[in-house]
Each structure stands twice: as C-alpha cells, then as structure tokens.
Amino acid sequence: MSFSSDVKTELSAVQNAACCETQFSRAMLLFGRSCSRVSLSFLTEHPDAARRYADAVAHFSGTTPEITESESGNCKIQIEDRLVTDAVLAELERNRNEKKQLSIGKIDRECCRHAFLRGAFLSAGTVTNPDVEYHLEFSCPSAHLARDLIDLLSLCGVDAKSTARGGATIVYLKKSDAIAELLTAMGATENAMLFMGAKIFKDVRNTVNRRVNFDKANIARSAAAAGRQLRAIKSLRANGRFDELPAELRELAALRLENPESPTSELVELLGGTLTVSGVNHRFERIIRAAEFTELPDKKKEEGKA
C-alpha cells in the first residue's frame, strides 16, 4: 500500500463531530470527479474513500448511491438521478462566488475547516512517500475552487501553491513542515508522525553523509600533501642536497619520514607544540621549493640566482 493510501485509510476512519459533518460532505462532493445537476461522479482506488463519498451524498439527499467497479478496477460512483443531484446541488449552491460558481465559502469553526480539508483530500488528494520526496497535492476540478482551497489552507496556517496540469488546477505543498501540519490538521496523526520520523531519519542520514564526505575529503587532501612532502625529501636526499637544509627543516623532514601518513596536526604535537599547523606547512613549503630548485637544469638555476 502506498503512503497516500495509508493516509486515506486513516482519514476515512475519522468520525466527524456533528458540526463538521456538513463541511466534510460538501468537500467530498465539490472535489469529486464531477459535481453538477447533470451528474455527480467519483472515482477512486480507495474503497473506504468511496464509502465516505456515498455517505456524503446520502447526507444531503437521503439516498445512498451504489459503488461499482470501473473498467480499470477502481471504485466508481455515478449519479444521474435528478432527484439526488438536485438535492445535493441545492445544498452546495448555498455557497457561490460573485460569478455564481460553486465555492467553498466561509467556514467559521476550525474543526469544520479541518473536516473540509479532510473531505477534499479524500476526494482529490495524494501525498508522496516522504522517503521519496515531500509532495502533497489536491487535484482541483476548477481554478476558482483551487483559489478557495489555497485561502482555506492559509487560514489553517498552511502555505500552498498552485499550477495547471492536464485541465486540472493542482494545489500543492512541498515543504515537509507544512505537509506534516496539514496531515495532523486533517486527522491523519499516525501518518503525520511516520512522515516526521522519515524526515528526521533522512535529515540525520544526510548530515552523517555530509560529515563522512567532509572527512574523506580532508583525509585525501592531507594524504596528497604528505605525498608531495615525502617526494621532495627523497629527491633532496637522492641529489645529496638534504644536509644543506637548515637544521629546523631537516628535523621536520626526518619526522615526516618516520610518520609518512600522519596529518600535519599530529606532526605539530610530535614537535611538542612549538609550531602551529601553518608554521609546519610553511616549513614543508620551503622543503618542497628546495627540492624543486635542485631538480631544475643547471642553466635555469643560474638564471634563478641572477
């Protein structure tokens, strides 16, 4: 079962308070597949959501519609009985905007707003598994209902955006906090906790990965630097120039030869803390320059001296 389906199972089981029943039912009908006096229809892969839609129709019309199976194996409700559609639409048309379109209208109580969002989600919502990405959306039947929904979400403290896709207006959330907030508000508290748990796990894993990558990069840098230092020291020895180095450089070079893999910070400790890391690095730079000079052809050396 998908995360979205688990959320719908949890939301379908929430019992509405008496004051919330009407708003929940309005939302299920408004955000269904079609909602007009010609037909009311609903299509879902979720049997519990289909039952709640049938209850919503019954809430306004007194008639419980039949749930059938669509060709694709989903649950389908199709109502063309004018007695039923007229009864439902008479209720829904109580809330219309200035253009006479069906609208969400004003919902006074917070519990009823949350019930409305629960109904809208059961009809038109999906949420992606948080292990994959943070995405919750409502596929709205019209642009003006999408605007109403964004306003309602905003009233509940949840910021949403909208976009057009395939004839529908999609209202979506991308922020994990907002998704968790909405799941909780709608009544999917168990799945909201699973969602937050998945997010925390992902955040911790990312932090650990960043840390490990950072450490790996540091080790690689430090190994590359030690390699350059060892090559310079060995080159000076091979050319018989090692003993010409000042005593402090010879001391450091000897320490590096004894500790070929130690990071500079360890060499600082072995030197008794008399130098800083950058002081040690500076001495290594002098050794490397001396080796480079030794390796130059004699002609270039003369030019260098001049």
How far apart, in whole angstroms, are the C-alpha atoms of residue 153 and residue 148? 9
Q: Cβ 114 to Zn ion, closest distance in Å?
A: 8
Angle subtended at Cα 24 by Cα 29 and Cα 183, rounded to the nearest 5 degrees? 110
**Is position 152 an interface residue for Zn ion (rule: CB under 5 A)?**
no
Nearer to Zn ion, 24 or 138 (CB): 24
What count of residues does the chain have? 306
**Is position 19 an interface residue for Zn ion (rule: CB under 5 A)?**
yes
Query: Which of 56, 73, 74 has its CA nearest to residue 64?
Result: 56
For Zn ion (CB under 5 A), the number of binding residues is 6
**Is position 35 an interface residue for Zn ion (rule: CB under 5 A)?**
no
**Is position 20 an interface residue for Zn ion (rule: CB under 5 A)?**
yes
Nearer to Zn ion, 142 or 184 (CB): 184
The b-or-e profile of 194-229 (16+ CB within 10 A means b, else e) is bbbebbeeeeeeeeeeeeeeeeeeeeeebeeebeeb
Nearer to Zn ion, 19 or 277 (CB): 19
Nearer to Zn ion, 19 or 164 (CB): 19
Query: Which of 90, 65, 95, 58 has its CA nearest to residue 80?
Result: 65
From 13-21, 224-232, 249-257, 284-292, give the range in contact with Zn ion by CB under 5 A.
13-21
**Is position 37 an interface residue for Zn ion (rule: CB under 5 A)?**
no
Nearer to Zn ion, 157 or 197 (CB): 157
Q: Cβ 23 to Zn ion, closest distance in Å?
A: 7
Query: Which of 167, 99, 179 has its CA nearest to residue 134?
Result: 179
Q: How far is CA 18 from CA 23, 116, 184, 197, in A?
A: 10, 13, 20, 33
Nearer to Zn ion, 17 or 220 (CB): 17
In the range 79-118, which residues lie near Zn ion by CB under 5 A? Answer: 109, 111-112
Decide: 122 and 158 in contact? Cβ < 8 Å.
Answer: no
From 16-24, 152-160, 177-185, 265-273, give the range in contact with Zn ion by CB under 5 A.
16-24
Report the interface residues with Zn ion, using CB under 5 A.
17, 19-20, 109, 111-112
